[in-house]
Amino acid sequence: MIVHTGEKIKKLLFFVLGLIVIAGCNNSGNGQLIGVQDREDWYQPDPYGMVFIPMGSYNMGVSDQDVPYAHVSQSKTVSVQAFYMDETEITNNEYRQFVHWVRDSIVHYTLGIMDDPEMYGDHFIRDEEGMFIDRCFETGGECYAINWREEIQWDNPEVQLLLQQEGYMLPEDEQFYYRSKFDWRKLNYDYFWIDYRAAAARRNREQGMKDRSAFIVHPEPINVYPDTLCWVHDFAYSYNEPMTKKYFWHPAYDHYPVVGVNWKQARAFSIWRTQLHNSYLQGEGVSFINDYRLPTESEWEWAARGGLDLNPYPWGGPYIRNSNGCFLANYKPLRGNLVDDGGFHTLIVAHFAPNDWGLYDMAGNVAEWTSDAYDESAYNYGSDFNQQISYNAKDSDNPAQKRKVIRGGSWKDFGLYIRNGVRTFEYQDTAKSYIGFRNVQTYLGRAKGDGPRASNIYN
């Protein structure tokens, strides 16, 4: 009996030892360096509405004569890493999603703090104990998340009265023809970004600064509603009131490029778009993606060229008309005949053919914000590796420090300004009827099709 028990123990020990050996082979790689195992398989799907722009080197700057003889865009070789770019400029309807999100988040919060689900609906998500959860917002020491599945009852008189009392609706003396509307001056977006350049500065690295909050830039909340009056104040002695009244919100202009958005609003939109996407990915248990952002000046020109180096226009040739005599972009032809190209003012996006990478309206329609600060000498000292000249101008800075590069030319510009290499600027806190923007997102990796360096033989 004792021998029998000993045999059982011996067999059990051998079994356990075998498991240890097997586990050691799988997890430690027989003592070899194999990296962390069982990592999730991940690949980057193309973001909706974006096209992939491969990495490359090109001659940045003028590809033809410098007509204004400005000497602000000398030719230099620049290398750019792979990224995604919106195939069209951000449209009115796309930007309106941002505006509505800000508006609805304000209303959800206002109705939620009333804590009266029967009257206003349940606009907060809570845990089982009734406490607020998540850290999307914070008030009174409690954290809460908005219940976006709860619909806002806009036609509910109690909701209307509450919003009126809280000052979110236009007061009666400001209403046109007694139309009650949400006060756009309340549409403020609270956001922040991380100043990695400040964190990388030698003085901060050498001092061993440990408080990372010093590098979080939290500006004043920004109003997100576009300046619809830009159609009037951009042109003196001109009747553009119909565009002011209808361009941003009417369905007829849904797929026209958004205008009246200044550089700071465009950056706020990019941050919101990133958080919107990452919030969804977090709910799906998927890793975050790179930030949506404004393109650098070098990225914008590389994308506009479409792989056709040393060509003045995105379509490649030296002419603005095709072989049939048709115009290839929306700009101001000849001596100011705005309708000759079929446009007049802005056109629906993707009206003309794309360049070889599938990007529309890289020349004309509306000029586009980039992330770069404007400096006439930028090409002389800028890096040839992902060139970007950045400066976060403060409200107290002088106007020259608030200049941001715009590219591509617009519906009101002559043919010179829609060339690939031509650069100009506008001030970051101004909004124009001829400036819009589009987003980019750095590709996660080096290039499409890249695989692991070597297969893991220990799996």
DSSP letter string over 326-355? -BSSBS--TTT-TTTTT-SS---TT-SPP-
Mean pLDDT of 420-429: 94
pLDDT for 8 beyond 70:
no
What mean pLDDT is reported for the chain?
87
Are 408 and 364 in contact, with CB atoms under 8 Å apart?
yes
Distances (CA, A) of 142 to 111, 131, 145, 242: 16, 8, 10, 46
Which amino acid does the sequence have at 280? Y
Are 447 and 79 in contact, with CB atoms under 8 Å apart?
no
pLDDT for 208 beyond 70:
no
The answer to the question of residue 452 being in a domain is no
β partners of residue 216: 194
- Size of the chain, expressed as the number of residues it contains: 459
Q: What pTM did the predictor assign?
A: 0.89
Residue where a domain terminates, one of 197, 230, 263: 230
pLDDT band of residue 385 (cuts 50, 70, 90) is very high
pLDDT band of residue 20 (cuts 50, 70, 90) is low
Q: Are residues 243 and 348 in the same domain?
A: yes
Tell me the pLDDT tens digit for each residue of 149-172. 899 998 888 998 999 999 998 888
The answer to the question of residue 178 being in a domain is yes
Q: Are residues 139 and 112 in the same domain?
A: yes
Are 44 and 443 in contact, with CB atoms under 8 Å apart?
yes
φ, ψ dihedrals at 189, nearest 5°: -110, 120
Q: Are residues 367 and 222 in the same domain?
A: no
Per cent of the chain over pLDDT 90 is: 56
Q: Are residues 5 and 58 in the same domain?
A: no
User: CA dihedral defined by 353, 311, 293, 395, rounded to 10 degrees?
Assistant: -120
pLDDT band of residue 360 (cuts 50, 70, 90) is very high
The answer to the question of residue 45 being in a domain is no
* pLDDT at residue 214, rounded to an integer: 83
The answer to the question of residue 260 being in a domain is yes
The answer to the question of residue 245 being in a domain is yes
Q: Are residues 250 and 382 in the same domain?
A: yes
Q: Give the residue, 171 or 26, on which the prediction is more confident.
A: 171
* pLDDT at residue 94, rounded to an integer: 98
Residue where a domain terminates, one of 230, 249, 281: 230
* pLDDT at residue 221, rounded to an integer: 93
Which residue is it, tokens 């602000």?
A: 72
Q: Are residues 226 and 154 in the same domain?
A: yes
* pLDDT at residue 459, rounded to an integer: 43
How far apart CA 265 and CA 262 sit, in angstroms, is 5
φ, ψ dihedrals at 445, nearest 5°: 135, -170
Q: Are residues 123 and 160 in the same domain?
A: yes
Are 227 and 260 in contact, with CB atoms under 8 Å apart?
yes
β partners of residue 139: 142
The edge-to-edge listing of strands for the beta sheet with 403-407 is 423-427, 403-407, 367-373, 435-436
pLDDT band of residue 457 (cuts 50, 70, 90) is very low
* pLDDT at residue 351, rounded to an integer: 95
- Cβ-based burial of 78 (10 A; exposed 0-12, middle 13-18, buried ≥19): buried
Residue 59's H or E segment, with its range, is strand 56-60
Tell me the pLDDT tens digit for each residue of 433-443. 999 999 999 99
* pLDDT at residue 75, rounded to an integer: 86
How far apart CA 300 and CA 306 sit, in angstroms, is 10
Are 69 and 63 in contact, with CB atoms under 8 Å apart?
no
Q: Are residues 370 and 424 in the same domain?
A: yes
| CB atoms near residue 289 (< 10 Å) | 18
The answer to the question of residue 422 being in a domain is yes
* pLDDT at residue 16, rounded to an integer: 54
- For residue 294 the two structure tokens come to 């404004």
Q: Domain containing 299 — which CATH number?
A: 3.90.1580.10
pLDDT for 118 beyond 50:
yes
pLDDT band of residue 1 (cuts 50, 70, 90) is very low
The answer to the question of residue 454 being in a domain is no
Q: Give the residue, 451 or 294, on which the prediction is more confident.
A: 294
* pLDDT at residue 134, rounded to an integer: 46
pLDDT for 458 beyond 50:
no
Q: Are residues 138 and 59 in the same domain?
A: no
Q: Are strands 124-125 and 137-139 parallel, antiparallel or unpaired?
A: unpaired
Report the number of distinct structural domains present in the chain.
Answer: 3
Q: Are residues 299 and 426 in the same domain?
A: yes
pLDDT band of residue 25 (cuts 50, 70, 90) is low
Taking the chain, what is the end-to-end CA distance rounded to the nearest angstrom? 43
- Domain containing 104 equals 93-230
- For residue 359 the two structure tokens come to 């990007």
Instruction: Give 193's DSSP letter.
Output: E
Greatest mean pLDDT among 1-15, 215-229, 445-459 lies in 215-229
Q: Where are the alpha helices (DSSP H) in 36-180?
A: 92-112, 117-120, 157-165
Q: Are residues 365 and 223 in the same domain?
A: no
Residue where a domain terminates, one of 214, 230, 246: 230
Mean pLDDT of 361-365: 96
The answer to the question of residue 457 being in a domain is no
pLDDT for 19 beyond 70:
no
Mean pLDDT of 364-385: 95
Q: Are residues 217 and 128 in the same domain?
A: yes
What residues contact residue 339 under an 8 Å CB cut-off, 6+ apart? Answer: none
